[in-house]
């Protein structure tokens, strides 16, 4: 064993001596260096990489890169899923990061706001509200982002706001728990919203303003004009108390440190107050509450900013109502253009161009109604109770028909109001019979209700009954006032008929003769509307108010009794 280990020990000693010698030469600054004899001075060249080798190396590199990114991607996807699930829980349970709804500063779920033990129904009502509210033709009272509390400056969510929102959408829901009792559920939520409003509390917030405006809108659906005026008036006074009208005043320090989202919301709510003030003052003939001149045509912020929400919630709606809501987008755009153009009629220098543009818009309105599927056109069968139980969204089709006719009257009436200045203009002579025809179609719906009511023993078309579509009060008021405007134009034409030369323009002469002979016909149609409204005045407060208002206008304007 010793003879075998001796050479190994000697070699270790020799290597150690050489290493010490090399270190000693380094310390002494010697430049002498003798490389070890076992190093190959001429190494062979590296092997050349072929194309296949390059591809394999590239794939190996990409594979290693992907393997390193997989944990990051998985974490990103899981985080996205968590956020999506949290958003769904926010809608389902009403958990908002800013809400402080009880003494422990813990957000209450929506299930505690209601007496329905079904969170799924509450979630669908919330989703349905933000779907219908996007297409109902009115400016957005509350955005989904505000409802979920994304804006950090937004006030706490008021329980009455949730109740009013649920009341708005409950009448249209097809949820099984609400089958056959949509309107009773809507009234139930409405009463809860009213009971939770503390009228003695002087500290207002934007949530209360939005709640009051929703309640006022619901009042107008049911023809309760004075109650709607009450809610809108409180909302306007509360907005003025919060200085919302000073949002763009640089001298007002209240909004200096607010976020841009909050300022946009304040501007929109104040614009809604202007619109409500103008609308309700015209409906009940009361002075405006907001001083100064304002034109609501420029204040209506039609927008479709919640398309992602609409696409999600539209999956819960029947196909025919999807088509109706989608086609209503173009109708909303046309009504916006009409409002903008009619506001320019007061400018005499631009009047001819505006009248030409209104003629084009009138053709577009007719084309819109002809282009929608025939199944979406109004039919008397949509008012039958059995059909409305089977298809709970038929109200939307009736509403779409009303909204289409209302858009036409919005175009015609401003032209009729300047009849004295353009008495023989061809546009006016064509608009008079068109106005009468449009009003007749609105009255025809009321006559259909009379027929349906006689078959179903339902006496009130605008109270919470299974056969009452919404918004009828506004549309019948509009029809009656347009009858009166057309009657005034026919009276002017009749008074100056001797000054016209009917032989110069044969086509216009025919239209003019029709306008002259329509005076008595319009009177009969107006009286028919009043008689139909009086049929329901005992059971329908809206009918009585509309009839009295129209009769007063007729007697004041024409000095005759109806």
- DSSP track, 314-383: GGGS-HHHHHHHHHHHHHHHHHHHHHHHHTTTT-GGGHHHHHHHHHHHHHHHHHHHHHS-GGGS--GGGG
Neighbour count for residue 195 (Cβ, 10 Å): 11
Question: What total of structural domains would you count in the chain?
Answer: 2
The answer to whether residues 433 and 501 touch, using CB atoms and an 8 Å cutoff, is no
Are 164 and 247 in the same domain? Answer: yes
Domain finish residue from 250, 269, 298: 298
User: Which DSSP symbol is given to 425?
Assistant: -
Same structural domain for residues 165 and 285? Answer: yes
Show the tokens assigned to 311: 């696409």
List Cβ neighbours of 462 (8 Å cut-off, separation of 6 or more).
Answer: 222, 223, 468, 472, 473, 536, 540, 542, 543
Q: Are residues 292 and 358 in the same domain?
A: no
What is the CA 219 to chain-centroid distance, rounded? 18
Q: Measured between alpha carbons, how far is 201 from 238 in angstroms, rounded to an integer?
A: 11
Phi/psi zone of residue 105: left (φ > 0), alpha (ψ -120 to 50 degrees), beta?
left
Same-domain status, 433 and 354: yes
Would you state the pLDDT for residue 74?
64
CA distances from 72 to 64, 81, 181 (A): 14, 14, 51
Q: Which of 268, 298, 328 is the last residue of a domain?
A: 298
Place of tokens 């034409």: 493
Chosen domain end from 267, 298, 329: 298
In this structure, the answer to whether residues 401 and 434 fall within a common structural domain is: yes
DSSP 288: -
**Distance, CA of 272 to chain centre:** 13
Q: What is the pLDDT of residue 323?
A: 78
Q: What is the spatial distance between Cα 473 and Cα 216, in angstroms, rounded to a whole number? A: 13
**Does residue 120 share a domain with residue 218?**
yes
Q: Are residues 427 and 523 in the same domain?
A: yes
The answer on 239 and 178 residing in a single domain is yes
Residues 288 and 362 in one domain: no
Token output for 331: 């109708």
436 belongs to a structural domain: yes
Is 35 domain-assigned?
no
174 phi/psi in degrees, rounded to 5: -105, 25
Please give the structure tokens belonging to residue 262: 């909050």
Cα four-point dihedral sign 286, 287, 290, 295: positive
Contact 554, 526 (CB under 8 A): yes
Residue partners of 156: CB distance under 8 A and separation at least 6: 98, 99, 100, 101, 205, 207
- Mean pLDDT, 10 residues at a time, over the chain (562 residues)? 47 51 48 52 58 59 59 65 59 35 39 53 77 64 72 57 85 77 84 76 76 87 81 89 83 79 85 83 79 51 35 58 76 82 85 89 91 86 78 77 90 90 82 90 86 62 40 77 89 68 50 64 89 76 80 87 76
Residue 491 lies in a domain: yes
> Residue 364 and residue 39: Cα distance in Å, rounded?
93
Q: Quick one: 293 and 364 in the same domain? A: no
Question: Token pair of 205, please?
Answer: 């917030």
Would residue 53 count as lying in a domain? no
Predicted pLDDT of residue 263: 85
Answer whether 544's CB lies under 8 Å from 537's CB: yes
Q: Within 10 A of 281 (CB to CB), how many other CB atoms are there?
A: 16
Please report whether residue 211 resides in a domain.
Answer: yes
**pLDDT confidence of residue 409:** 92
Nearest alpha carbon to residue 406 among 481, 296, 306: 481
- 502: how many CB neighbours lie within 10 A of its CB? 13
Examine residue 272 and state whether it is found in any structural domain, yes or no: yes
pLDDT on residue 45:
61
CA distance 240 to 303: 25
3-class SS letters over 453-507: HHHHCCCCCCCCCCCCCCCHHHHHHHHHHHHHHHHHHHHHHHHCHHHCCCCCCHH
37 part of a folded domain: no
**What is residue 255's predicted lDDT score, i.e. its pLDDT?**
79
What is the residue range of 248's domain? 110-298
Which among 356, 488, 350 is positioned nearest to 418, based on CA atoms?
488
Q: Cβ distance 447 to 516 under 8 Å? A: no
On whether residue 157 sits in a domain, the answer given is yes
Q: What is the C-alpha to C-alpha distance for residues 206 and 153, in angstroms, rounded to an integer?
A: 11
Question: Is the distance from CB of 32 to CB of 25 less than 8 angstroms?
Answer: yes
Distance CA 16, CA 12 (A): 6
- Give the closest residue to 406 by CA, choosing from 371, 369, 376: 369
């Amino acid at each position: 064993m010793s003879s075998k280990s001796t050479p190994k020990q000697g070699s270790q000693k020799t290597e150690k001596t050489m290493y010490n010698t090399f270190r000693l030469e380094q310390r002494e600054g010697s430049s002498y260096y003798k490389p070890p004899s076992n190093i190959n001075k001429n190494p062979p060249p590296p092997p050349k990489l072929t194309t296949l080798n390059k591809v394999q190396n590239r794939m190996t590199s990409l594979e290693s890169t992907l393997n390193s990114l997989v944990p990051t991607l998985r974490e990103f996807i899981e985080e996205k899923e968590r956020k999506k699930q949290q958003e769904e829980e926010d809608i389902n349970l009403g958990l908002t990061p800013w809400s402080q709804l009880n003494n422990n500063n813990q957000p209450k779920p929506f299930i505690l706001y209601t007496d329905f033990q079904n969170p799924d129904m509450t979630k669908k009502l919330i989703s349905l509200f933000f779907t219908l509210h996007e297409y109902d033709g009115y400016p957005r009272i509350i955005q989904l982002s505000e409802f979920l509390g994304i804006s950090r400056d937004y006030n706490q969510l008021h329980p009455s706001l949730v109740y009013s929102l649920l009341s708005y959408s409950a009448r249209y829901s097809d949820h099984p728990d609400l089958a056959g009792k949509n309107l009773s559920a809507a009234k139930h939520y409405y009463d809860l919203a009213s009971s939770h409003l503390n009228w003695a509390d002087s500290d207002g917030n934007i949530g209360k303003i939005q709640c009051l405006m929703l309640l006022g809108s619901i009042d107008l659906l049911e023809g309760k004009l004075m109650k709607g005026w009450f809610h809108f008036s409180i909302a306007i006074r509360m907005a003025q108390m919060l200085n919302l009208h000073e949002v763009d005043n640089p001298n007002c320090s209240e909004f200096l440190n607010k976020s841009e989202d909050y300022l946009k919301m304040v501007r929109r709510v104040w614009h809604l107050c202007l619109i409500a003030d103008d609308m309700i003052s015209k409906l009940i003939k009361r002075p405006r509450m907001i001083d100064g001149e304002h034109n609501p045509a420029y204040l209506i912020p039609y927008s479709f900013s919640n398309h992602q929400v609409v696409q999600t919630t539209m999956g819960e709606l029947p196909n025919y109502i999807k088509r109706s809501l989608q086609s209503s987008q173009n109708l909303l755009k046309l009504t916006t253009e009409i409002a903008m153009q009619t506001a320019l009629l007061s400018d005499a220098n631009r009047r001819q161009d505006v009248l030409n543009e209104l003629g084009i818009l009138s053709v577009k309105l007719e084309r819109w109604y002809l282009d929608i599927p025939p199944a979406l056109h109004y039919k008397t069968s949509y008012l039958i109770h059995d059909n409305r139980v089977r298809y709970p969204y038929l109200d939307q089709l009736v509403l779409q028909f009303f909204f289409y006719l209302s858009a036409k009257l919005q175009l015609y009436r401003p032209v009729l109001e300047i009849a004295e200045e353009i008495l023989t203009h061809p546009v006016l002579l064509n608009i008079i019979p068109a106005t009468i025809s449009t009003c007749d179609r609105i009255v025809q719906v009321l006559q259909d209700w009379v027929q349906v009511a006689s078959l179903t023993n339902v006496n009130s078309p605008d109270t919470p009954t299974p056969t009452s579509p919404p918004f009828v009060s506004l549309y019948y008021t509009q029809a009656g006032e347009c009858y009166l405007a057309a009657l005034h134009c026919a009276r002017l034409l009749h008074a100056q008929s001797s000054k016209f030369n009917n032989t110069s323009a044969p086509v216009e002469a025919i239209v003019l003769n029709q306008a002259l002979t329509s005076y008595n016909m319009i009177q009969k149609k107006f009286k028919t509307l009043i008689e139909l409204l009086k049929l329901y005045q005992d059971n329908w407060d809206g009918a009585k108010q509309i009839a009295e208002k129209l009769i007063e206008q007729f007697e004041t304007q024409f000095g005759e009794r109806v």
